[in-house]
Amino acid sequence: MYSNPHATTGLAITTATYVITQDESLAFAIGIPLAIASHYFLDYLIESHLSKKEIILYDIVPSLIYFVLALLSGHFWLMMASWVAGTLLDLIDKKLGLTVLFPKKFKTLRFLHNQKNGIRFTLKQTKIASVVSTIITIGMMLVLKQL
Ligand SMILES: [Zn+2]
């Protein structure tokens, strides 16, 4: 799965933890480990391959939007920690994204990924997943703004 849905899932978990506990420290202490764990299960949703242009449009641009939303949320570090936590397993196995940008030079590891079967997304569903993730991220940012 690409980074945007992972980041959004991490953020939804930490935001929900914050809402339930009304305590940002607990949102970090409980939410971040759960956000890291969510990655493994989310990778059973197997997205279609995106071209380089599509990666820019459906993963890099949404990541920049996420960053701007983090600045506006009033909880910048919680949002950034949620992004790192949600994508952490890929940051490790995909060597901070180098394997995506330079697939010939850097080979993806599978230390933290052993999913073989899962639900396969069409190209259209893969793109929709990214757009829906950004809409959810906007919603979570608006929730965090109130806290
Ligand atoms: Zn992954």
Q: How many CB atoms are located within 10 Å of the residue 123 CB?
A: 13
Q: In angstroms, rounded to a whole number, what is the distance separating the alpha carbons of residues 59 and 65?
A: 10
CA of 146 to the centre of ligand 1 (A): 31
Residue 98: HSE in the Cβ half-sphere, 13 Å Cα cutoff = 9
Instruction: Give me the pLDDT at residue 98, please.
Output: 86
Query: How far, in Å, from the CA of 115 to the mean position of ligand 1?
Result: 9
What does each of the 147 residues of the chain score in pLDDT, given as a tens digit? Answer: 899 999 999 999 999 999 999 999 999 999 999 999 999 999 999 999 999 999 999 999 999 999 999 999 999 999 999 999 999 999 999 998 888 778 889 988 888 999 889 999 999 999 999 999 999 999 999 999 999
Task: Indicate the burial class of 140 (C-beta count within 10 angstroms; 0-12, 13-18, 19 or more).
Answer: buried
Instruction: For residues 137 and 147, give the distance between their C-alpha atoms in angstroms, rounded to a whole number.
Output: 15
State which residues have CB under 5 angstroms from ligand 1, the bound ion: 43, 89-90
Q: Compute, in angstroms, the gap from residue 50 CA to the centroid of ligand 1.
A: 15
Ligand 1 midpoint to CA 147 (Å)? 30
Q: How many residues in the chain?
A: 147
Q: Do residues 47 and 121 touch, judged by C-beta distance below 8 A?
A: yes
For residue 104, the CA-to-ligand 1 centroid distance in Å is: 19
